[in-house]
Structure 1
Amino acid sequence: MAFLMQQMLGEKLKNMMGGGGGGGGGSSGVSTGDGKETPESKGMSREEFEEYQRQLVEEKIQRDKEFAMKKAERANLRVLLRDKYRIPQNAQDDATVQMAGDDVDVPEDLAKMVDEDEEQEEMNSSFIGRLQNMELDFDTIKTKAQSTMTDAWQVAEEKCVLM
């Protein structure tokens, strides 16, 4: 905690107290000739500076992991949508998913959106989908309807006195 406070406020306090300008040439040792930071430029001891550099590297690695995971999740979703709608696959998405490993899941909010789309699609196309999937043979339907009507007519004639 003290490290973070010193990091955030150290330079401002140094400037406010006049530590940067007077006596001993305050700008010597601030940074090397190639522009790299030194412990003196940050107002830290060598150990604190090394800890700071290590934290920076760890944070960068963590950000990169999170970014790769999000990228793989999006690629996984694209792969699933391509499967669903029978769209040709993209090799780049497949490679991204494989690089991330098997632990890639579709984010909950995106999965919920896909499920809602599927439900809506099922509701909209249920009757139409059934009609399209049925093999319609109109001659067979016509003869079946005529035979049903003939049978009904015969039963009605047998039971009804007026016919």
Structure 2
Amino acid sequence: MDLGFLIKPKNLDESPKGAPKDDKAAVLPSSMAREEFEEYQRQLLEEKIERDKAFAQRKAERATVRMHLRDKYHLAQDERDDAQVHVAGGAVELPQDLAAMVHSEEEDDGSTGAFAFLAKLRQVELPALRDRAVGGVDQVREKCALM
């Protein structure tokens, strides 16, 4: 006779006995005391909060760089960047390397514009320029037999 038919099969429809397990609730390991486990959970939570703060700060710094570059090139501002800055706590200071990058691009942009060219053109002394050109032609005449 086969004994497999005599064993009562488990009822798969009924819920498991014991406390229901929540995804957020952590199970106490058998090797840790309750106080140790609570301290461990607290440390994990603090580390997560610190990581989240650092991540929000980096996102706000990137948003600030984007805002500066959009302002520099007269592009439309994005409200998501403003939201990122507000999430990080308002005023965000750029790291020195990013601030130097933004400011150096601003300086380069100002020196290549049409107004900068006109300002430099006003500083040119025309009589000195004419004398230099005539002196160059005289040097060429002395060296060249055909002229």
- Report if TM-score (shorter chain) is over 0.5: yes
Measure how far apart 1:88 and its partner are: 0.3
Moved more, 81-90 or 114-123: 114-123
Measure how far apart 1:115 and its partner are: 2.0
What CA deviation, in whole Å up to 9, does each residue of 1:32-77 have, x standing for no partner? 884843231xx21111111001100110011101111111111111
2:28 maps to which of 34, 38, 41: 38
Q: How many residues align?
A: 98
Alpha carbons 2:61, 2:94 under 8 Å: kept? yes
Alpha carbons 2:67, 2:81 under 8 Å: kept? yes
**Aligned 1:40-55 pairs, distance under 5 A:** 40=30, 43-55=31-43
2:54 maps to which of 66, 79, 101: 66
Opposite residue 28 of structure 2, the aligned amino acid is T
TM-score using structure 2 length: 0.57
Match in the other structure for 2:116: 130
Measure how far apart 1:100 and its partner are: 2.1
Regions of 4+ moved over 6 Å: none
Opposite residue 99 of structure 1, the aligned amino acid is V
Identity %: 50
Measure how far apart 1:131 and its partner are: 4.6
Match in the other structure for 1:90: 78
Q: Specify every segment of 5 or more residues in structure 2 that has no aligned partner in the other structure, as ranges.
A: 1-18, 120-147
- For residues 116 and 105 of structure 2, the distance between their equivalents in structure 1, rounded to whole angstroms, comes to 19
- For residues 132 and 85 of structure 1, the distance between their equivalents in structure 2, rounded to whole angstroms, comes to 21
TM-score using structure 1 length: 0.52
- For residues 130 and 52 of structure 1, the distance between their equivalents in structure 2, rounded to whole angstroms, comes to 62
Moved more, 46-55 or 110-119: 110-119
SS across alignment from 2:27: coil
- For residues 82 and 110 of structure 1, the distance between their equivalents in structure 2, rounded to whole angstroms, comes to 15
What is the aligned-residue RMSD (CA, Å)?
2.4
Opposite residue 130 of structure 1, the aligned amino acid is A
Q: Could you say which structure has the greater relative contact order, defined with CA pairs below 8 angstroms and 6 or more residues apart?
A: 2
1:118 maps to which of 91, 97, 106: 106
